[in-house]
Amino acid sequence: MMTNSVPVDITINGQKLEYVEEYVYLGQIISPNDQTSKEINKRIATGWNKYWALKEITKSKKLSMKIKKKTFDTCILPCITNGCETWALTKQHRDKLARCQRGMERSMLGLKLLDKERSIDIRKKTKVTDILSRIDHLKWRWAGHMLRCKREKWSKQVTVWYPRDGFRSRGRKAKRWEDDLIMTLGPCGPGSRQTDNNGRSWRRPLP
């Protein structure tokens, strides 16, 4: 059991329920404290585990980069981006995800940091899907789907809900789910809370 308030002892049939700081639900970490950072760390670890599980392909000197690219895009990248539609990414989060991908690309090419190969040159060789572009695309697609769906669906109600008497404290504000979309698409994007029932407009490419 978890709470973001003062814990209160709850006993059922003589058994005292235990409070936890976090738990995993449908593959994602649920936590009241810095949930996105914990989930990203977990996703990166899962991605590296999958990378090394496929080392016969990713580290092979005989297989072409085309095969390695397809393996990365279809097997490794989804492990890292699973559930990314719900993330509220800060610059630190995006940098960490980009570093993870660059590390895997260097490993596939047999390069080390000391080789000082530029990231842009590495990407020209691997041609893998950029992880940040993939995350933005998936989040955009989910936002369009969510805003077109019926009001009764809980996923939409939770997303568009604002606390009636809520306010944001002074100082740097916590990143919100919609901030990534506003940053990418401007105030006329889905962050404006305007529902667009025209599916074609949501399928246009990201700028």
Would you list the DSSP string of 116-157?
Answer: ---HHHHHHHH-PPPHHHHHHHHHHHHHHHHHHS-TTSHHHH
Pair 175, 90: CB distance under 8 Å: yes
Its pTM stands at 0.77
- 179 within domain boundaries: no
In a domain, 94, yes or no: yes
Q: How many domains, the chain?
A: 1
Residue 63 lies in a domain: yes
Is residue 145 assigned to a domain? no
Q: Is 58 inside any structural domain?
A: yes
- Structural domain of residue 129, as residue ranges? 33-136
Residue 13 resides in a domain = no
Q: Which residues contact 175 (CB under 8 A, 6 or more apart)?
A: 36, 88, 89, 90
In a domain, 52, yes or no: yes
Identify whether 111 is part of a domain.
yes
Beta bridge partners of 28: 25
pLDDT (tens, 9 = 90+) of the chain, 207 residues, equals 777 777 788 888 888 888 887 778 777 788 777 788 899 999 999 999 999 999 999 999 999 999 999 999 999 999 999 988 888 888 999 999 999 999 999 999 999 988 989 999 999 999 999 999 999 899 888 888 877 877 677 777 777 776 666 666 676 667 777 777 776 665 544 444 444 555 555 555 454
Q: What are phi and psi of 186, to 5 degrees?
A: 85, 175
